[in-house]
Amino acid sequence: MSTLVLTLPLGSPEPAAEYGYTLTADGHTATRHASAPAALLPDPGRAGETVAVVPAHALSWQRVTLPQGALSQAPRLRAILEGLLEERLLDDPALLHFALQPGASNGTPAWVAVCDRAWLRGALQALEAAGRPVDRVVPEAAPGPTASGQVECTVLGTPEDALAVLCGHGPHQAVAVLPLASAPALLPPAGGDADPAPVRAEPAVAALAERVLGRPVQIQTASQRMLDAARGDWDLAQFDLASSGRTRALRKLGSAANAFLRAPQWRAARWALGLAVAVQVVGLNAWAWQERQALAAKQAGVRGALTQTFAHVKVVVDAPVQMERELAQLRQAAGSMAPRDLEPLMAAAAGALPASRMPAQIEYASGELRLRGMALAPEELTALNQALAAQGFSARMQDEALLVRAEGQP
């Protein structure tokens, strides 16, 4: 499953506006990256995902503590956020879009992302009109702990307008966007025993960043930064911009499946799963082969017993049936009776039934004896079966008649 990650341009959306985009198959490596108008953006495919990245300088971050019960009042949650943030915002809250931190809980401080509502809605509608509806909206940089556990700095923009984006800044691990010239005061000093704070920069401003910050920087392209942002937990499409819960769940499931199938960090797990499946398949095949061999040996034994006992039988089709038929012929030739014949059935029933019980009607068919007019109580039927079992017979009531048959008979 492919993922199209694109950066939303600032300003009012126009048909000719360029979107920087990255196409990826595993969420970590770019297969293609460039910029194009919305109508010319590549198609991630029917099962693909489109992720929009909101630039860091288009967002502000506010920290709030939700009152008890706020999260259970989903229709009123935005109004609650407006009330909490009203005095902190310069603009009218009705003109702003809010997005609550993933995993937020009542009574615990949480981050709220704030941006221009009309701009974000217009950008998403322009993409939808161009046939590229957005599945998730993520921030370019988000507050919270960083991978290094330190303040991380990313320098981006142009030499004339270079910006420093600090992540994990301060006691609350906030995001700060400020001019590059102001960044050195907020970064820990270079040198010393501690590992230096990671600093990354786009190629266009890498030399400037090294000169201003006085330390080496790692080159990071805009494409790599977009992929990092797309792997985050945030989704700014909340409240009036949110998709249905089912849609979000399906998208999240698809993203997780795609990450497991393609992401490098899951390679060992994929190999382990494949090896486990292969071992199971080999084991099942070996067990099935052993069972087939055992069954074939039993069938061969039955056929051998038939042909050895009755040497005139040359073709074996169904050994048990043929064996029963040959035995019946031997009994008939010797004048003996089988347990299913009428006489053995009547003798067994006469010996087991109470002397006071006489049937009103006797029927015999297909090796079964039916005695009508024999309404037995449950305890009498139990005693009858105990007596018949010693002779190899059984009895039960069926259709107001006592049915007597040889045991083992279907």
How far is the C-alpha of 20 from the C-alpha of 156, rounded, in Å? 14
Q: Identify the sign of the CA torsion 81, 85, 86, 89.
A: negative
Nearest in space to 383 (alpha carbons), one of 337, 347, 408, 352: 352
> Is 394:409 a contact under the CB 8 Å cutoff?
no
Residue in the block written with tokens 């305890």 = 379
How far is the C-alpha of 382 from the C-alpha of 387, rounded, in Å? 9
- Predicted local distance difference test score (pLDDT) of residue 121: 93
How far is the C-alpha of 284 from the C-alpha of 269, rounded, in Å? 22
Kindly state whether residues 44 and 111 are assigned to the same domain.
yes
Q: Identify the sign of the CA torsion 265, 270, 275, 277.
A: positive
Please, what is the end-to-end C-alpha distance for the chain in angstroms? 57
Residue ranges of alpha helices (H) inside 244-341 are 245-262, 267-309, 319-334
Kindly state whether residues 131 and 147 are assigned to the same domain.
no
Residue 300 in domain: yes
Kindly state whether residues 33 and 131 are assigned to the same domain.
yes
Kindly state whether residues 117 and 252 are assigned to the same domain.
yes
- Predicted local distance difference test score (pLDDT) of residue 253: 62
Give residue-wise pLDDT tens across range 248-281: 455 556 556 666 666 676 778 878 888 889 889 9
Encoded tokens for 393: 């017979």
Where are the strands (E) in 29-139, listed by range?
30-37, 49-54, 60-65, 96-100, 109-116, 136-139
Which residues span the domain enclosing 12? 1-141+232-262
Per-residue pLDDT at 113 exceeds 80 = yes
Kindly state whether residues 283 and 170 are assigned to the same domain.
no
- By mean pLDDT, which of 2-16, 95-109, 189-203 is the weakest? 189-203
The domain boundary, picked from 333, 354, 373, lies at 333
Kindly state whether residues 131 and 30 are assigned to the same domain.
yes
Give residue-wise pLDDT tens across range 45-75: 877 899 999 999 999 999 999 999 888 888 8
Give residue-wise pLDDT tens across range 122-179: 999 999 999 899 999 999 999 999 988 889 999 999 999 999 999 999 999 999 999 9
- Amino acid (one-letter) located at 68: Q
Q: How many structural domains compose the chain?
A: 4
* pTM value surpassing 0.85: no
How far is the C-alpha of 93 from the C-alpha of 81, rounded, in Å? 9
Kindly state whether residues 159 and 177 are assigned to the same domain.
yes
Residues 6+ apart with CB under 8 A from 302: 319, 320, 323
Where are the strands (E) in 103-232, listed by range?
109-116, 136-139, 152-158, 161-169, 174-179, 199-201, 218-219
Kindly state whether residues 99 and 169 are assigned to the same domain.
no
Residue 227 in domain: no
- Predicted local distance difference test score (pLDDT) of residue 26: 85
